């Protein structure tokens, strides 16, 4: 069975994929990051906290900062409370809750080095803790400022990939198509795309992934302003040349796509990746248009909500010719 299946693939597999042939699951996640978990080192050496914080969504990043800020002030508020509120002037001592609230806000004022002056430490121990907290606050806000700047200034491609790829009619044959589009107002030029595929076969009872480079009909464009439909024509040199609809559905396939472009504002090259597995490939379909002129016919409207829209399409009967 495996030998007959390999006979359908006429292209020689490539050895420079960067992935092992026996890896599990998909190789590239939809967000473009490798689907790899590392073991053998502790969490501090396994993760780059700087890269982790830069890659977080804006909501999660701000949430983590807020939670960390509240927790730090709660810890110092408990320390001040344990030292004794009598070592802090200006505390409302009407009840324990008001005492702790005043201590918490004193901690936040010390941590941010604001220091309104109503509450002040008295004695060596409270002053020492306040000094250390102010020093820690300076370091923390310096780190937070650096993270904010890194997130704000980091060049990104800001590309949105379609959730699906399609097997569509192309000329007198078929083609694998996927599309992408920029979703921000950054200017990308000299964009090129590299597409490869991993196809799982069984050799000696062991599943193995073979990698193949996929030639694209247009591998480079001068300006990436509208959507770009990446087309791999399924010809004789394609690993999918003899694949039927059932082959696409029953075979473990992953299409890996990488787009590289030049950002004119940052004067830097940006890269973004994505991938498509078998269940994300729609056979016998073609993408619907996603841009159109405005009412005055003066501007082109790029509707990003339509990036996944497709229509059913009849494919030419090429398999009968191939099998002969």
Give the E-state strand segments of the chain in sequence order: 88-89, 120-121, 159-161, 165-170, 173-182, 188-203, 206-214, 220-223, 228-233, 253-263, 268-277, 281-283, 285-287, 291-293, 300-302, 310-312
Output the pTM of the full model.
Answer: 0.79
Q: Is residue 36 situated within a structural domain?
A: no
Looking at 119, 135, 153, the residue that finishes a domain is 153
Same domain (yes/no): 112, 177: no
Predicted confidence band of residue 65 (pLDDT cuts 50, 70, 90): very high
- Tens digits of per-residue pLDDT, 258-295? 999 999 888 899 999 999 999 999 999 999 999 999 88
pLDDT at 3: 45
For residues 108 and 116, the answer to whether their CB atoms sit within 8 Å is no
Looking at 153, 183, 216, the residue that finishes a domain is 153
Report helix, strand or coil for 46: helix
Which residue segment(s) compose the domain that 275 sits in? 2-30+163-323
Mean per-residue pLDDT of the chain: 88
For residues 251 and 281, the answer to whether their CB atoms sit within 8 Å is no
**Tokens read off for 212:** 């193949």
Looking at 153, 174, 189, the residue that finishes a domain is 153
Same domain (yes/no): 256, 126: no
Rounded to whole angstroms, the Cα distance separating 207 from 256 reads 19
Same domain (yes/no): 215, 256: yes
Same domain (yes/no): 147, 170: no
Structurally, the chain folds into a number of domains equal to 2
């Amino acid at each position: 069975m495996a030998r007959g299946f390999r006979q359908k693939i006429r292209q020689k597999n490539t050895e420079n994929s960067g992935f092992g042939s026996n890896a599990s699951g998909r190789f590239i996640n939809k967000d473009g990051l490798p689907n790899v978990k590392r073991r053998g080192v502790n969490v501090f050496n396994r993760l780059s906290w700087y890269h982790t914080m830069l890659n977080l969504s804006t909501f999660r990043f701000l949430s983590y900062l807020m939670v960390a800020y509240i927790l730090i002030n709660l810890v110092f508020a408990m320390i001040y409370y344990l030292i004794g509120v009598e070592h802090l002037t200006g505390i409302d001592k009407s009840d324990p809750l008001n005492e702790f609230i005043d201590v918490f806000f004193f901690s936040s004022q010390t941590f941010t080095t604001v220091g309104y002056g109503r509450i002040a430490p008295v004695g060596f121990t409270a002053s020492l803790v306040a000094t250390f907290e102010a020093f820690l606050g300076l370091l923390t806000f310096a780190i937070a400022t650096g993270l904010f700047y890194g997130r704000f200034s980091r060049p990104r491609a800001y590309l949105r990939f379609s959730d699906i790829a399609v097997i569509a009619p192309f000329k007198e044959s078929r083609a694998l198509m996927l599309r992408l589009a920029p979703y921000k107002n950054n200017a990308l030029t000299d964009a090129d795309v590299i597409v490869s595929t991993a196809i799982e076969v069984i050799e000696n009872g062991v599943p193995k992934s073979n990698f193949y480079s996929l030639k694209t009909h247009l591998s480079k464009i001068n300006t990436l302003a509208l959507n770009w439909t990446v087309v791999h024509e399924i010809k004789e040199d394609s690993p999918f040349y003899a694949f039927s609809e059932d082959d696409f559905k029953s075979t473990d396939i992953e299409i890996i796509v990488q787009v590289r472009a030049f950002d004119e504002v940052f004067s830097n090259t940006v890269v973004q990746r994505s991938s498509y597995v078998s269940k994300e490939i729609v056979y016998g379909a073609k993408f619907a248009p996603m841009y159109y002129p405005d009412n005055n016919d003066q501007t082109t409207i790029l509707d990003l909500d339509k990036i996944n829209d497709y229509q059913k399409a009849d494919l030419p009967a090429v398999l009968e010719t191939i099998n002969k």
